[in-house]
Structure 1
Amino acid sequence: MSDSAVAYFLTSSSLAIIGFSVHLLLLRSAKQPVYLPLAGCLSAVAVLICQPVVKELAPGLQTYILLLALPALYLIPPCFWLYVQGITSSARWRPERAHLKHFTPAGLGLFIVICALLLPGELRDAMLVEEDISALTSTPDMLRFIVYGLLIITFMMVLGWVVQAGFYVHSVFRRLHSYRTQLRELFASTEAREGRWILWLMLAVGGVWLLTAGILLYGNLVAPVQTDIVIRDLVILIMVWSVAIWGLRQKPGFEEVYQGDKEAQEVLKSITDVKYQRSALNQQLAESIVTKLNHAMEHDRLFLDASLSLPRLARHISRSANHISQTLNETMGVNFFDYVNRYRVNAAKEQLQNTDDTVLDIAMNVGFNAKSSFYTAFKKETGITPNQFRKAS
């Protein structure tokens, strides 16, 4: 099988995954609008990669697909950013007029497309499909001037996309870091909420982005760069599959908060630069909360509940969730996540010393949802792994 045939198969597979995923995302967006940006992101990717399939099945559309590549390129970063913004938001995400500013570059790309569509068809096809720039030599001076202007703007926009993509990748990393901090103020187990797949995807995208940037710069300034189409299309297929499968599985991290948990909403509002500024918590109340917290953990062993959250703990000890959060952070110097996991680690240490249970069984017994999170928490508290602790005991 030739490389072109393999590439065609890989591209077709990517498009099939995108088509199925976008359909499911649009169905879900009726109740959760946060899935709309991800559907837009995948649709833009489809426009960028469908050229080989269109060339075989509908060659008459080839020119139009090539023209749409520029606005599609500029749609991917802001769409993915809005998706990340949505799943990390403490309030239900909805499309807003303010979001339109993110699509200004894509709008400029669409304007260039409209201008290109007004050009003579033969000239447009020669330049885009056949890549024959010499077709300009026989055109009127004014038309040639306009076309060169569009080419220069397009070239600048292609280079500008590198900057745009870098900006949004950086924004996603910052957003996820802040989001993780907020999660740990409310939940004792955050594995299913953190969206770690996005971090790994961003690292992969960052690597591809740097490689693409180098190819674009070298190809436009020095000479065209030949790339292995099979490897390229395989990488695209893996990324498309990853975004589709994890994007469909990922739920907004604070979904239960904005579905009606008012105590959790108050805690989230307080997690700012001036948090707890208006709180009525005094030293006597803080000491009382500390006593109740320790009793709930040491005697009621609430930490064994894998789904334990701050509001649930607040209801158990009949205290305000906001006051508990303030007490943990200001009086005890620890967030809710680390406070609960400290008790879990201590319970695990006892079982590691006194039982022959596997590390995974012990992790589940003491309230962890995953072996990886248990190892991370255990090493943070003790400086060694569970297996090293068991051997040293």
Structure 2
Amino acid sequence: MLLLRSTKQPVYLPLAGCLAAIAVLIGQPVVKALAPGLQVLFLLLALPALYLIPPCFWFYVQGITSSTRWRPGRAHLKHFVLSGIGLVIVISALLLPGELRHAILVEGDDTALTATSGLVRFIVYGLVIITFLMVLGWVLQAGFYVHAVFRRLHDYRAQLRELFASTEAQEGRWILWLLLAVGGVWLFTAGTLLYDNLVASVPTEAVISNLVVLIMIWSVAIWGLRQKPGFEELYQSNHGTQEVLKSITDNKYQRSALNEQLTDSIVSKLNHAMEHDRLFLEASLSLPRLAKHISRSAYHISQTLNETLGVNFFDYVNRYRVNAAKEQLQNTDNTVLDIAMDVGFNAKSSFYTAFKKDTGITPNQYRKESRAG
């Protein structure tokens, strides 16, 4: 399914690669049962597959958080150098005698080396040492990409709040929860690898480890298929959204034609759009939609909101939504969920968060206090 989607949206291609690499790692029992002749090959491919997972997942996250349509390019090749080294080790191992490979990899019997020449033993021991170091090095590689993804998601959410009034569908919170789980597994794996290779063998419960793997793969597959690029609707936008995103990334707005007179005009139009046209009631309201409504550049609107009003687009719109909700909480008996949907929120949780941020109390507490007074 991911490969089919990648023909139109290349961002799904690295996620398909990530799952394929995981399949190589966890498919050993299946290969052993159904195609024993391929068992040695799959065991060898485990090393490059291991090094494919972090960069592939990183490119997927990079793609769904990109402000422009993501496509694979030559600049991405450097991320696969370590996997390439693993592939060189695979090719080197395939040049060894088949009986020797099977004895060492499948049977775990290194006594077969005694009947080989000194050169072959040197090559085998060299490959073993390099493989051991690469397995340990994967822990560092995975940690690097986990950190990179966390930073990317943090910046991405800040960008979303400059362009959308509702961000739940685009935030990709499942990635954060998945990475927290992966981070825990990574720390456990790192400790296990170090202890297992440097101290003593660590017994593990297969059922528990397989269950953890199953849950993670299920999460990646299901949520990966559901997630769309957050800025997809803006890829073809001509309302200055790319300039807005660049200014957020650079943490400053470039000098523009925005003067005091134009700023006052934009503020006036913004207030009219919210107070008279009640544009904030649109759950899918975005900065380009607002820019089109008041016939002003999205870049100038964003600059006015941040530099003049001291607020981002997300908070500016939700402030009006919260004020409208306050009126309904005081004057109607509608449920909190009905009120949230009626004033433009598309999730109860986001309404509670915005309301408490503005008032310091929950909607139910506000209703009780306002009526008690």
TM-score bracket for the superposition, by shorter chain length: over 0.9
Per-residue CA deviation, residues 312-356 of structure 1 (Å, 9 max, x unaligned), is 111211221111100000000000001001111111111122211
Q: TM-score, normalised by structure 1?
A: 0.92
Alignment of 1:184-195 (within 5 A): 184-195=161-172
1:273 corresponds to which residue? 250
1:297 aligns with 2:260: no
1:359 aligns with 2:339: no
Q: Residue type matched to 1:253 in 2?
A: G
- Partners of 2:149 and 2:34 in 1: how far apart? 37
Please report how far the alpha carbon of residue 144 of structure 1 lies from its aligned counterpart in structure 2 after TM superposition.
0.9
Q: 237-246 or 290-299: which moved more?
A: 290-299
Per-residue CA deviation, residues 191-215 of structure 1 (Å, 9 max, x unaligned), is 1111111111110100111111111
1:114 corresponds to which residue? 91
CA 364–274 in structure 1, closer or farther in 2 if over 3 Å, else same: closer
Please report how far the alpha carbon of residue 232 of structure 1 lies from its aligned counterpart in structure 2 after TM superposition.
0.8
2:46 corresponds to which residue? 69
1:162 aligns with 2:139: yes
2:184 corresponds to which residue? 207
Aligned partners of 2:355 and 2:363 also within 8 Å: yes
- Partners of 1:161 and 1:248 in 2: how far apart? 27
Q: TM-score, normalised by structure 2?
A: 0.97
Please report how far the alpha carbon of residue 308 of structure 1 lies from its aligned counterpart in structure 2 after TM superposition.
0.6
1:5 corresponds to which residue? none
1:223 aligns with 2:200: yes
1:310 aligns with 2:310: no
1:375 aligns with 2:356: no
Please report how far the alpha carbon of residue 274 of structure 1 lies from its aligned counterpart in structure 2 after TM superposition.
6.1
Bigger RCO (CA 8 Å, 6+ sep): 1
1:133 aligns with 2:110: yes
Please report how far the alpha carbon of residue 117 of structure 1 lies from its aligned counterpart in structure 2 after TM superposition.
0.6
Please report how far the alpha carbon of residue 379 of structure 1 lies from its aligned counterpart in structure 2 after TM superposition.
1.3
Unaligned runs of 5+ in 1: 1-23
Alignment of 1:219-258 (within 5 A): 219-258=196-235
CA 205–85 in structure 1, closer or farther in 2 if over 3 Å, else same: same
Q: Residue type matched to 1:68 in 2?
A: L
- Partners of 1:237 and 1:295 in 2: how far apart? 53
- Partners of 1:105 and 1:370 in 2: how far apart? 43
1:26 aligns with 2:3: yes
Per-residue CA deviation, residues 60-89 of structure 1 (Å, 9 max, x unaligned), is 111111100000000000000001111111
Please report how far the alpha carbon of residue 260 of structure 1 lies from its aligned counterpart in structure 2 after TM superposition.
3.5
Does the residue aligned with 1:190 lie in a helix, a strand or coil? Answer: coil
Aligned partners of 2:239 and 2:298 also within 8 Å: no
Q: 338-347 or 378-387: which moved more?
A: 378-387
Does the residue aligned with 1:271 lie in a helix, a strand or coil? Answer: helix
* CA RMSD in angstroms, aligned pairs only: 1.2
1:338 corresponds to which residue? 315
- Give 2:71's match in structure 1, choosing from 90, 94, 101: 94
1:48 aligns with 2:28: no
1:284 aligns with 2:261: yes
Aligned residues with identical type, % of pairs = 82
Please report how far the alpha carbon of residue 284 of structure 1 lies from its aligned counterpart in structure 2 after TM superposition.
1.8
Please report how far the alpha carbon of residue 54 of structure 1 lies from its aligned counterpart in structure 2 after TM superposition.
1.0
Per-residue CA deviation, residues 285-316 of structure 1 (Å, 9 max, x unaligned), is 11221121112111211100001111111121
Aligned partners of 2:239 and 2:288 also within 8 Å: no
Unaligned runs of 5+ in 2: none
1:172 corresponds to which residue? 149
2:324 corresponds to which residue? 347
Per-residue CA deviation, residues 84-125 of structure 1 (Å, 9 max, x unaligned), is 111111111111001000000000000000011111111111
Aligned partners of 2:306 and 2:312 also within 8 Å: yes
Please report how far the alpha carbon of residue 222 of structure 1 lies from its aligned counterpart in structure 2 after TM superposition.
1.2
- Partners of 2:175 and 2:43 in 1: how far apart? 29
